[in-house]
Structure 1
Amino acid sequence: MIITKDLCKVFRTEEVETSALHDVNLHIQRGEFAAIMGPSGCGKSTLLNIIGLLDNPSNGSYIFNNTDVTKKSEKQRTHFRKGNIGFIFQSFNLIDELTVFENVELPLIYMGLTASKRKAKVNEVLDRMNISHRAKHYPQQLSGGQQQRVAIARAVVTDPNLILADEPTGNLDSSNGTEVMELLKELNHSGTTVVMVTHSVRDSEYADRVIHLFDGKVVSENKHKQIKREPIKEEL
């Protein structure tokens, strides 16, 4: 599903040139849960941005769903991203002025779905995330764990085949963090490919494979045995 070949990323200013990624070669299969780990500044988020079509590599190629997306224009990448990729961020990135329902509905509006189809889909996803009882609330009225549930609901409401999660438990306590990881694993078990950046060794245990970056390079990979987890609780 995801193949990068000799992927490089260089950031340039008038006086400074910084290499963020060096010859990164990855092959992430459809339905896999992959975690990317490494120290701060090693290129994790840069790699995730390229995988998510938010940025382009300086050199090398990125093939997503059998398409070399590095050859696409920015407009084409944006269109490709909307139909295929969902994003989950550490800071939730919810819009304070919108209710839970409206936050989750937003991607469907961009896709041009009718109001009736949007309502049905949002209600379905909120039920799945066990947050439907908060549909009329605003983000500031929710706990951190509930906000991340809403963020996950927004990411999956378009039925993407790839979820990208950047430190999804970074702003949560241990209990709520576990709940969020259970949700991501549940989504993965349903067939969604998940690629997660994390500093947490505990969170990485949910992944099928851990990819270690150092100084912009893949230095090692290891597979995890599947860990039996308790079912998710009703509410964060």
Structure 2
Amino acid sequence: MIQTINLQKLFSTEEVETTALNGINMDVKDGEFVAIMGPSGCGKSTLLNILGLLDNPSEGEYNFYGTEVAKMTERQRAQLRKGSIGFVFQSFNLIDELTVYENVELPLLYLKTPPDERKKRVEEALERMSIMHRRNHFPQQLSGGQQQRTAIARAVVAKPKLILADEPTGNLDSKNGEEVMKLLGELNDEGTTIIMVTHSPYDAGFAHRTVNLFDGKVVTENFHV
């Protein structure tokens, strides 16, 4: 389970101090799908960065499946992040110089997965995302939908406990966006925990509940039937 207790994040310059998160208390059960919504600047991406171990809170606690990580060093966070969290971004974040296959393989290389197991997992992920036929193509040779399928394959190839998705349909047309959300829904149905930042009420409808932020605070939660 994921739990934050009085999570706070401050950004300071010589002239001003900005409070991005102001006391976030949130529990996410194993296997839950949670959408995070709110206006621009409310702290959604900051919260996602902390949940993804890309940043540390200024104050408060963050418990990740029984491990209190808020006080971890960057090296410790990186080790935990590699095998436990998959990321899906609006901008896809694929490496242009690598093929589809090589992009998906990358997390397994970081984990030093043996070659035979690596090949098996990559091919399974590519087949699952219906992108195997583009395995030797480069990102710039793909459509937006194919790029996001590749990004999702990369996110799931290491079988993480948690997938974090930041506006996963933001650069897609409605048809491709719907297909991507169905893929995320299927992964969640199989037990993967998903936390997604979105501006789209349609996308949020795939989640079990929506957490609404405003000025760095949780203001409401809506549970979906």
Could you say which TM-score interval applies, normalised by the shorter chain?
A: over 0.9
SS at match of 1:172: coil
Cα distance in 1, alignment partners of residues 28 and 39 from structure 2: 21
Cα distance in 2, alignment partners of residues 49 and 205 from structure 1: 23
Cα distance in 1, alignment partners of residues 83 and 136 from structure 2: 27
CA-CA distance at 1:76 after TM superposition: 0.7
SS at match of 1:207: coil
- Amino acid aligned to 2:175: S
Q: What stretches of structure 1 of length at least 5 have no aligned partner?
A: 226-236
Cα distance in 1, alignment partners of residues 70 and 7 from structure 2: 10
SS at match of 1:21: strand
- Amino acid aligned to 1:209: R
The equivalent of 1:61 in structure 2 is: 61
CA-CA distance at 1:14 after TM superposition: 1.5
Cα distance in 2, alignment partners of residues 75 and 214 from structure 1: 32
CA-CA distance at 1:2 after TM superposition: 0.8
Give deviations 1:73-109, integer Å, cap 9, x for gaps.
1111110111100000000000111110000001111
Cα distance in 2, alignment partners of residues 141 and 131 from structure 1: 13
Cα distance in 2, alignment partners of residues 178 and 172 from structure 1: 9
| TM-score (structure 2 length as normaliser) | 0.99
The equivalent of 2:77 in structure 1 is: 77
Residue 183 in 1 paired to residue 172 in 2?
no
SS at match of 2:70: helix
Cα distance in 1, alignment partners of residues 89 and 115 from structure 2: 27
CA-CA distance at 1:116 after TM superposition: 2.0
The equivalent of 1:100 in structure 2 is: 100
Structure 1 moving runs of 4+ over 2 Å: none
Give deviations 1:99-150, integer Å, cap 9, x for gaps.
1000000111111112222111100110111111111111111110010000
The equivalent of 1:39 in structure 2 is: 39
SS at match of 1:70: coil
Name which of structure 1's ranges 40-49 and 133-142 shifts more when overlaid on structure 2: 133-142
Residue pairs, 1:122-161, within 5 angstroms: 122-161=122-161
Residue 199 in 1 paired to residue 199 in 2?
yes
Q: What stretches of structure 2 of length at least 5 have no aligned partner?
A: none
SS at match of 2:60: strand
The equivalent of 1:15 in structure 2 is: 15
Give deviations 1:18-45, integer Å, cap 9, x for gaps.
0000111000100000000000000000
Cα distance in 2, alignment partners of residues 194 and 114 from structure 1: 27
CA-CA distance at 1:72 after TM superposition: 1.5
| TM-score (structure 1 length as normaliser) | 0.94
Cα distance in 2, alignment partners of residues 41 and 73 from structure 1: 27
Residue 30 in 1 paired to residue 30 in 2?
yes
Cα distance in 2, alignment partners of residues 31 and 223 from structure 1: 15
8 Å Cα contact 2:99/2:137 also seen in 1:
yes
Residue 214 in 1 paired to residue 218 in 2?
no
Cα distance in 2, alignment partners of residues 195 and 10 from structure 1: 22
The equivalent of 1:233 in structure 2 is: none
CA-CA distance at 1:215 after TM superposition: 0.6
8 Å Cα contact 2:56/2:71 also seen in 1:
no
Cα distance in 1, alignment partners of residues 112 and 31 from structure 2: 28
Query: What is the Cα-based RMSD across aligned positions, in Å?
Result: 0.6
CA-CA distance at 1:71 after TM superposition: 2.3
